[in-house]
């Protein structure tokens, strides 16, 4: 059984992530979307919220499961019985960081491959950071994120604005 782990912050998941996920699920028997839990980094959405969103929007795809992890990615990948890590590449600017990670992971666990999938052109400029920035400033993010993310972003921004 070919298993791939698609790790990331997914704060929040964008249509760019979803495109990578759908395409990678054609290459593997199972893809585990793994949301990193970094206690030192406070996100916009909690880990539980991100996992819940991801579960909702991937429920149509039986090959996809959603989980969270902390610690070394390579330890998690091995525990899952996976053979590969999946990462999306948007532009050259992603390359340095991704290569550093892939080479470090390869040093730690040479038997695990990192597979890069090039983002489709319509999502090349998308990032979770930009999505949050635009949404917080009242801009339109329609078509860039799943509609559930749009809803949850609106709710969260309203909640933060009301001071609760």
DSSP letter string, the chain: --EEEEEE--TT--HHHHHHHHHHTTTSSEEEEEEE--TTS--SS-HHHHHHHHHHHHTT-TTEEEEEE-S-HHHHHHHTT--EEEEEE-SHHHHHHHHHHHHHHHHH-TTSEEEEEEPPGGGTT--HHHHHHHHHTT---BTTB-HHHHHHHHHHHHHHHTT-
| Cα angle for residues 9, 145, 162 (degrees, 5° grid) | 80
CB contact at 8 A, 38 and 11: no
Query: Per rule CB under 6 A, is residue 24 in the interface with ligand PNS?
Result: no
CB of 27 to ligand PNS, least distance (A): 18
Give me the least distance between CB of 151 and ligand PNS, in Å please: 22
Residues 53/33, Cβ–Cβ less than 8 Å: no
Cβ closest to ligand PNS, residue 9 vs residue 24:
9
Pick the closer one to ligand PNS by CB: 56 or 70. 70
| x-or-dash string of contact with ligand PNS, 44-83, rule CB under 6 A | ----------------------------xx----------
By CB under 6 A, tell whether 12 contacts ligand PNS.
no
Task: Give whichever of 31 and 73 is closer to ligand PNS, judged by the CB atom.
Answer: 73
- Looking at the Cβ atoms of 104 and 160, the one nearer to ligand PNS is 104
Looking at 3, 89, 101, 120, which residue binds ligand PNS (CB under 6 A)?
Answer: 101
Residues marked as catalytic:
17, 41, 90, 128
Q: Minimum Å distance from CB 51 to ligand PNS?
A: 14
- Residues lying near ligand PNS in the complex (CB under 6 A) are found at 7-9, 36, 72-73, 101, 104-105
């Amino acid at each position: 059984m070919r298993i791939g782990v698609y790790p990331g912050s997914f704060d929040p998941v964008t249509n760019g992530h979803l495109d990578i996920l759908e395409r990678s699920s054609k290459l593997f028997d199972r893809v585990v979307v793994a949301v990193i839990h970094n206690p030192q980094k406070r996100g916009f959405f909690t880990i539980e919220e991100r996992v819940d969103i991801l579960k909702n929007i991937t429920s149509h795809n039986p090959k996809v499961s959603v989980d969270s992890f902390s610690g070394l990615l390579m330890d998690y990948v091995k525990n899952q019985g996976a053979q590969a890590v999946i990462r999306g590449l948007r532009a050259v600017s992603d390359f340095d960081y991704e290569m550093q990670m892939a080479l470090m992971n390869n040093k730690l666990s040479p038997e695990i491959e990192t597979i890069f999938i090039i983002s489709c052109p319509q999502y090349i400029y998308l990032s979770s950071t930009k999505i949050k920035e635009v949404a917080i400033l009242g801009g339109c993010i329609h078509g860039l994120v799943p509609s559930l993310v749009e809803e949850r972003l609106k709710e969260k921004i309203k909640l933060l604005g009301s001071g609760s």
